[in-house]
């Protein structure tokens, strides 16, 4: 079986499976993005989360919450109110932790150059922790990730360890992160449209490619005059400069069974 046929087989199998997430469906804020990617021959999504605020009740290993051993006291993909958290905290018996988890998306790509296009778009959109993994069986996976999460313990053995005023402060921070997360998703979607349109044009007119399609690099120097073409404004560029330092592409080889 050639690689293209094998990729189509993987895609058909993945998209025909039931959604096994807790919610059982794609989050509202990324439905359009997921559908758009899945209509393209060279991509299909394997998992996604639009971003959420969580209140978990369970043990803490260091500062890392083990969600599989926790009770989910509250989960929302929208801005969260203090009263909802206070009510949920009353159900806590262990160590309750408030978390904000930003947007994450996994996309399997037909070719490495397809993954590189998505990776470049993700970086320009503010998802600076994105990366590409390549399995020995040839599966090429692009993960869209960022690092602007939040994780704060609120109670210990069922006893609240912080004031309501502090909880209100934390929720303001979490809700601001949620709003920024939504802007980055919209930016990613718009930039993806532009990038794929440019790729289609360069494939149709190869002579243009040599002139307009610069080689893929680990770190790109931004040119303010080309900000519009890169689907990122000068203002957005400054906004993202201090967010994350790692702009590199990481390629990992998985074990044989992947």
Written as one string, the DSSP assignment of 216-252 is: P-SS----GGGTTTTT--HHHHHHHHTT-S-------
Q: May I ask the CATH class of domain 3-204?
A: alpha beta
pLDDT computed for residue 25 by the predictor: 84
Q: φ and ψ at 134, to 5 degrees?
A: -125, 120
CB atoms within 10 A of CB 83: 9
Please tell me what DSSP assigns to residue 67: G
| DSSP 8-state assignment for residue 215 | P
pLDDT of residue 70: 67
Distance CA 79, CA 70 (A): 22
Q: What is the per-residue pLDDT for 20?
A: 66
pLDDT score at 220: 45
Between CA 58 and CA 130 the distance in angstroms is 29
Question: CB–CB of 194/230 below 8 Å?
Answer: no
Task: Identify which of 162, 149, 172, 178 has the alpha carbon closest to the alpha carbon of residue 81.
Answer: 172
Rounded to whole angstroms, the Cα distance separating 48 from 185 reads 12
Q: What is the pLDDT of residue 108?
A: 97
Residue 167, SS3 per DSSP: helix
Ranges under pLDDT 50 in the chain: 60-66, 214-230, 232-235, 237-249, 252-258
Kindly state the percentage of the chain with pLDDT values over 70.
73
DSSP state of 98: E
How far apart CA 121 and CA 204 sit, in angstroms, is: 21
Q: What's residue 234's pLDDT?
A: 40
- The DSSP result for 14-33, as a single string, is HHHS---SSSSS--GGGHHH
């Amino acid at each position: 079986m050639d690689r293209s046929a094998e990729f189509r087989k993987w895609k058909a199998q993945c998209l025909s499976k039931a959604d096994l997430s807790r919610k059982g469906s794609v989050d509202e804020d990324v439905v359009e993005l997921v559908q758009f990617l899945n209509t393209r021959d060279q991509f299909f999504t394997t998992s996604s989360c639009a971003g959420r605020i969580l209140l978990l009740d369970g043990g803490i290993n260091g500062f890392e919450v083990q969600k599989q051993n926790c009770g989910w006291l509250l989960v929302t993909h929208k801005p969260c109110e203090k009263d909802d958290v206070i009510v949920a905290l009353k159900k806590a018996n262990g160590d309750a932790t408030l978390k904000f988890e930003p947007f994450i998306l996994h996309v399997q790509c037909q070719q490495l150059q397809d993954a590189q296009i998505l990776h470049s778009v993700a970086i320009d959109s503010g998802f600076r922790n994105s990366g590409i993994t390549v399995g020995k069986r040839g599966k090429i996976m692009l993960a869209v990730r960022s690092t602007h999460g939040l994780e704060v313990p609120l109670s210990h053995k069922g006893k609240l360890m912080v004031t309501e005023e502090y909880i209100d402060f934390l929720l303001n921070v979490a809700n601001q992160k949620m709003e920024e997360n939504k802007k980055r998703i919209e930016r990613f979607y718009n930039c993806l449209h532009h990038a794929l349109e440019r790729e289609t044009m360069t494939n149709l007119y190869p002579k243009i490619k040599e002139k307009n399609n610069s080689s893929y690099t680990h770190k790109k120097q931004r040119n303010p005059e080309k900000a519009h073409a890169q689907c990122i404004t000068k203002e957005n560029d400054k906004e993202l400069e201090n967010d994350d330092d790692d702009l590199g592409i990481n390629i990992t080889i998985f074990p044989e069974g992947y």
